[in-house]
Amino acid sequence: MSDQSGASGNLDPSPVSSSSYTKSVSDFIGIGLLLFLLVLPKLSVLFGAIENYIFPAPYGRFQNLLSSNFLHVLILIFLYSAMSQAWNIIGGYCGQISFGHSVFFGIGAYGAGMSVVKYGMVPWPGVVAGAFAASLIALMISYPCFKLRGHYFAIATFAVVEIFNRMFMVWDWINGALGLDYPIIEEGWKQFIWYDSKVEYYYGALALMTLIFFIVRFLETHRFGYYLRAVREGAEIAESLGVDSTRVKLSAMALSAGITALCGSFFVQYNLRVDPPMVMSLDMSLNFVLITVLGGIGTLWGPFLGALVLIPLQEYTRAWWSGDGLDLIIFGFMIVIVVLKQPQGIQGIVSNMFKTKKRE
Amino acid sequence: MNNRCFWLFMFAFLFGILLPVSAEEKILKIGTLFPLTGSCALAGQRCKAAVETAVEIINNKHPEINVPLAAGEGVLGYKIQLVHADSQGKPDVGKSEAERLFDQENVYAIIGCYNSAVTKPASFVAERKKKIFVAGCSSSAALTERKMHYFFRLAPNDRIESKEFCDFVQWLNKNNSSNLKTLGLIYENTEFGKHAADEAKQIASKYEMEVVVDVPFNPGATNLNSEVTTLKDKNPDVIFGACLGGDYTLFIGTVNQQNWLPKVALNYCSGFQDPQISKQLGEKGYYFAGASGYSPDFVKIMPVAEAIEKLYKEKTGVPFDTDSILETVGMLVLGQAIEKAGTIDSEKVAETLHKEEFVSPLSFGGKVTFDEQGQNNKAMSVVVQLQNGEYRRVYPPEYSTASVTFPIPSWDKRK
């Protein structure tokens, strides 16, 4: 898939997506969206109050719209777009398709989990330790793997997931297959745990996503980002221009892994449980890749658009046609259509629409 | 232009999916949460059908079935409506689906989740919301050690089964003047297997049995040679296994290949008790035994099961198994508790569940009571042994239909 998108899209960056005009439009939309998302929970309370005042009813439409399930879907969208964006750094911008990101995700999750469950502390030391551990392990795994190219690199990362999954299954210190279950503890930002409310998780996930999108937005226009793309387009050419491709790839991997671990920590704090199949599975690894591919690999908005389509699809189809696997069927179709019709993903579709409009 | 129409259509389609739907009627909604897709999908679908069977009995007049609530329609005037959700066998999905069932669908209680690892976080959600959660067949003992007030579990947990296995071994020793002392454990490396093994170790020490070998394996393994070699090396008298489905078949096959046998082999849960497995293994599987809560020949000691099984068979095409029947029992007991409490107030119904004794013609002994942690006190399973292609009950003596074949005849004497 990467090759296709590389061939038709990335090798020949469309003038629209790289012009500074589009960049500022994109920034404008991004900041606008962020502001909207920031006030969304408050807004609905306000609207709900007004609505209840006019039509007194037990459940106002707006309040219902912002029910805990709706927030849950938003939280997942933020989390998965953050994860996919982290993957996008190495997979999209640097062109190294990794199926091993669930390992880093899992390490982050276990970092926070161990901190709370085994040591009875707040999760934060574990979050930091997990991020560093993930970066370190990413470096150790990637160094030999980067000797491989293209598909061979991707296959090697597949194996890494299996190795870590099995290892964590039998590792008694982290409770092995039993997993870590959170005890009932005090709620609050210090513990980053809330049992009934989801609004705080919403802001937590929004902050996480914003942080990662800012990092990638920063990379896009700075030297390191250009190095990444140079390495993607051709390691030899990049090296001939004085870019140390191995170093660039390793730094990108470490950065990506560290950020992915942060997402893992959020995941465990949100679910209050972690066991190896929950986090270190090929399923989870595929999420990183598929969301980005669907949304638009190697683009800033791709991961968000991918998650925006996939997560509601997944959550709502499961709710309404439970157990038919319908979401997977629709999702499969979408991937096929996207790959055939628009290898740049939803991002490509959106920018094409704007392009057509402008010509008219 | 055509292209654009196409994408507009796609967006419109997606938007259509996202529009919320809701329909409210004056009924009592109960959620079910099972792995309807994924690797345990078959078991999950059967559990779902089992709950549906129970609801059919409660909602409609079934004078031919002699269980409480069958004769009338509904409970306390409420008709029960089920809302099904899919956990995919994943704890995180199970948790969020439980939240959705309570918040969005406004269900009154949830029945689920088959996988112990999913039941844990999902029932935690229910506890926080002070709603009742009934687990039929999740067997991890840890579930009922969390001091939860609204959680009830029907299945015998792996501690009860471990104790029963040890009792069985002691009974064999007494009756056959044998001396079974060493114990080997082989278990899948999951919450279920690991927990079962831990319980076995604890209980075995009380029965003066020595665990000489302890072998975990990864579920879905394609090869168990080294695991069986390890067992063969230590040659324990008795084996407790926690292997399910295909793993069990592979295990017996490998034991046969390596030409080794323990004197007694017992398997947790009903992992070994699938008609498919006995077909696949043929004679190789004979004389291995395990715990079972139900198999079709139980109809003789549970006469009412036949009529209920007919309803269930219409949905699934197969008879009840140990797991699914517990889900039916769960729904029936919950219905009875609501009726006895005389209200649908969760707090009062939970109290009733804790205090009262419930008639359950689909359980051994016909009674269900819960302790303060929600474990079914009366839960028990029997030891069944596969003899000449049929699962025969061999222990405890009062329920047995055949005498136990002990020790397992060696491979060369079978042909």
Q: Is B69 helix (H, G, I), strand (E, B) or coil?
A: coil
Whether B91 sits inside 8 A of A319 (CB atoms) is no
CA distance B325 to B121: 23
Residue A264's Cβ-count burial label (10 Å; 0-12, 13-18, 19+) is buried
Any A CB within 8 A of B11 CB: no
pLDDT category of residue A22 using cuts at 50, 70 and 90? confident
* Mean local confidence (pLDDT), A183-202: 85
Which 3 state secondary structure label does DSSP give B307? helix
Note the pLDDT of residue A128: 95
Considering only CB atoms, B91 lies closest to which of A271, A322, A325, namely A271
A338–chain B nearest CA distance, Å: 11
- Pairing of the two strands B28-34 and B264-267: unpaired
DSSP code of residue B400: -
| One-letter-per-residue 3-state SS of chain A | CHHHHHHHHHCCCCHHHHCHHHHHHHHHHHHHHHHHHHHHHHHHHHHHHHHHHHCCCCCCHHHHHCCHHHHHHHHHHHHHHHHHHHHHHHHHHCCCCCCCHHHHHHHHHHHHHHHHHCCCCCCHHHHHHHHHHHHHHHHHHHHHHCCCCHHHHHHHHHHHHHHHHHHHHHCHHHCHHHCEECCCCCCECCCCECCCCCHHHHHHHHHHHHHHHHHHHHHHCCHHHHHHHHHHHCHHHHHHCCCCHHHHHHHHHHHHHHHHHHHHHHHHHHHCEECHHHHCCHHHHHHHHHHHHHHCCCCCCHHHHHHHHHHHHHHHHHHHCCCCCHHHHHHHHHHHHHHHHCCCHHHHHHHHHHHHHHHC
User: Are A289 and A50 in contact, with CB atoms under 8 Å apart?
Assistant: no
Does A323 contact B92 at a Cβ distance shorter than 8 Å?
A: no
Is it the case that residue A237 has pLDDT exceeding 90? no
Closest CA to B93 of A184, A107, A63, A277: A277
The 8-class DSSP code of residue B68 comes to T
Contacts of A272 in chain B (CB under 8 A): 95, 121, 124
Mutate which of B17, B149, B192, B217 to test chain A, going by most A C-beta atoms within 10 A?
A: B17
Angle between helices A101-117 and A150-170 (to 10 degrees): 20
Matching fold, domains B28-156+299-368 and B159-292+381-414? yes
Please give the pLDDT value at position B109: 92
E strand or H helix at B133? strand B132-135
Distance from the first to the final alpha carbon of chain B: 76
* Cα dihedral A249, A253, A255, A258 in deg (nearest 10): -170
Minimal-distance CA residue of chain B relative to A271: B92
pLDDT of residue B362 exceeding 70, the answer is yes
What's the CA dihedral at B245, B249, B250, B255 to 10 degrees?
A: 140
Judged against a pLDDT cut of 50, whether residue A282 lies above it is answered with: yes
Do A273 and B121 lie within an 8 Å CB cutoff? Answer: yes
Longest dimension (CA), chain B: 88
Q: Which residues of A touch B (CB under 8 A)?
A: 64-65, 67-69, 72, 76, 166, 169-170, 176-179, 181, 195-196, 267, 271-273, 275, 277-278, 309, 312-313, 315-320, 322-325, 328, 337, 341, 349, 353, 356
Phi and psi at residue B90, to the nearest 5°: -110, 130
- Across the range A105-120, mean pLDDT stands at 92
| Alpha carbons B195 and B162: distance in angstroms, whole number | 11
Q: Is CATH 3.40.50.2300 what the domain over B28-156+299-368 is classified as, yes or no?
A: yes
B218 contacts chain A (CB < 8 A): yes
pLDDT for A153 equals: 86
Nearest to B148, CA basis, from B134, B158, B162: B134
Of A200-214, B23-37, B287-301, highest mean pLDDT:
A200-214
**Which strands, in side-by-side order, build the sheet including B80-86?**
B80-86, B28-34, B109-112, B132-135, B151-153
B169: part of which helix (H) or strand (E)?
helix B158-176
Burial class of residue A19 (count of CB atoms within 10 Å of its CB; 0-12, 13-18, 19+): exposed
Cβ–Cβ gap A323/B216 under 8 Å? no
- Judged by CB atoms closer than 8 Å, whether chains meet at A325 and B95 is answered as no
**Minimum distance, in Å, between the CA of residue A258 and any CA atom of chain B:** 22
Residue-level pLDDT at A322 = 60
Q: Please state the domain extents for chain A.
A: 28-282
Residue in chain B closest to A351 (alpha carbons) equals: B4
Two structure tokens written together for B132 = 């009742």
Measured CA to CA, the distance from residue A332 to residue B15 in angstroms comes to 18
Quote the pLDDT of residue A6: 38
Predicted confidence band of residue A2 (pLDDT cuts 50, 70, 90): very low
Could you tell me if B210 and B185 are in contact, meaning their C-beta atoms sit under 8 angstroms apart? Answer: no
Report yes or no: B56 and B311 within 8 Å, Cβ to Cβ: yes
Q: How far apart are CA A208 and CA A304, in angstroms?
A: 13
CB atoms A176 and B91 under 8 Å: no
* Contact across the interface for B117 and A179, Cβ inside 8 Å: yes
Length of chain B: 415
Q: B110: which strand partners? A: B31, B133
User: Which one of A69, A268, A357 would you mutate to disrupt binding with B, by most B Cβ within 10 Å of its Cβ?
Assistant: A69
Q: Which two tokens stand for residue B21?
A: 């739907």
Option in B44, B104, B194 nearest A178 (CB): B194
Q: C-alpha angle A121/A125/A129, rounded to 5°?
A: 135
Cα distance from N-terminal residue to C-terminal residue, chain A: 32
pLDDT in tens, B221-259: 888 999 999 999 999 999 999 887 778 888 988 998 999
B142-192 residue pLDDT tens: 888 888 889 999 888 888 888 889 999 999 998 888 888 899 999 988 878
Is residue B170 helix, strand or coil?
helix
Closest by CA position to B155, among listed B316, B377, B360, B373 = B377
Q: Which helix (H) or strand (E) holds B92?
A: helix B91-103
**Tokens encoding B58:** 């409660």
Flag whether pLDDT at B335 surpasses 60. Answer: yes
Rounded-to-integer distance, Cα A280 and Cα A216, Å: 25
Residues B276-298, mean pLDDT to the nearest whole number: 80
Instruction: Take residue A82 and report the two structure tokens written for it.
Output: 């953050």
Residue B12 confidence class, pLDDT cut points 50, 70, 90: low
Which residue in chain B is spatially nearest to A276 when comparing CA positions?
A: B190
**A216 pLDDT more than 50:** yes
In this prediction, residue A360 has a pLDDT band, given cuts at 50, 70 and 90, of: very low
User: Inter-chain contact A272–B121, Cβ cutoff 8 Å?
Assistant: yes
Distance from CA of B254 to the nearest CA of A (A): 22
Percent of chain B at pLDDT above 70?
93
Model confidence at A259: pLDDT above 90:
yes
What is the model's pLDDT at position A109? 94
A257-271, B272-286, B299-313: lowest mean pLDDT where? B272-286
Shortest Cα distance, chain B CAs vs residue A91, angstroms: 26
Question: What's the CA dihedral at A44, A47, A50, A51 to 10 degrees?
Answer: -90
What is the C-alpha separation between A198 and A122, in angstroms, rounded?
A: 19
What is the biggest distance separating any 2 CA atoms in chain A, rounded to whole angstroms?
71
**Which pTM was predicted?**
0.80
Exposed / middle / buried, residue B19 (Cβ in 10 Å: 0-12, 13-18, 19+): exposed
Q: How far apart are CA B117 and CA B114, in angstroms?
A: 9
Contact A68 B97 (CB under 8 A): no
Q: Given a cut of 50, is residue A296 above it in pLDDT?
A: yes
What's the pLDDT score for residue B17?
52
Domain boundaries, chain B: 28-156+299-368, 159-292+381-414
Which chain A residues have a beta carbon less than 8 Å from that of B3?
Answer: 341
Strands B382-387 and B289-292 come out as: antiparallel
Q: Do B18 and A312 touch (CB under 8 A)?
A: yes
| Number of residues written out for chain A | 360
Is the C-alpha dihedral spanning B358, B364, B370, B376 positive or negative?
negative
Asked if B190 has any chain A CB less than 8 Å from its own CB, the reply is yes
| ipTM exceeding 0.90, yes/no | no
Q: Is the pLDDT of residue A9 over 70?
A: no
| Chain Cα centroid distance, residue B275 | 16
**For position A63, what pLDDT does the model report?**
54
Instruction: Convert the pLDDT of each residue in A156-183 to its tens digit.
Output: 888 899 899 988 988 888 888 888 888 8
What interhelical angle do A68-88 and A302-320 show, nearest 10? 140
CA distance B411 to B414: 6
Residue with tokens 């779902």: B48
The two three-digit tokens of residue A233, written as one number: 């387009």
Which of B52, B96, B110 is the mutation pick for testing A, counting most A CBs within 10 A? B96
Q: Is the pLDDT of residue B19 over 60?
A: no
- Rounded to the nearest 10°, the torsion over CA B262, B268, B271, B275 is 70
pLDDT of residue A325: 66
* pLDDT of B21 over the 50 cut: no
The stretch A59-75 carries a mean pLDDT of 69
Nearest-CB residue to A323 (from B18, B86, B92): B86
For residue B22, the model assigns a pLDDT of 42
> How many CB atoms are located within 10 Å of the residue B8 CB?
11
Any idea which fold B159-292+381-414 has? Rossmann fold (3.40.50)
Residue B228, SS3 per DSSP: helix
Q: Is the peptide bond between B407 and the residue preceding it cis, with omega within 30 degrees of 0?
A: yes
Domain A28-282 has CATH 1.10.3470: yes
**In the 8-state DSSP scheme, what is residue B375?**
B
Q: Do B120 and A181 touch (CB under 8 A)?
A: yes
Which chain B positions have a beta carbon within 8 Å of A195's beta carbon? 128
Which of A316, A328, A341 lies nearest to residue B17, judging by beta carbons?
A316
CA B293 to chain CA centroid, Å, is 9
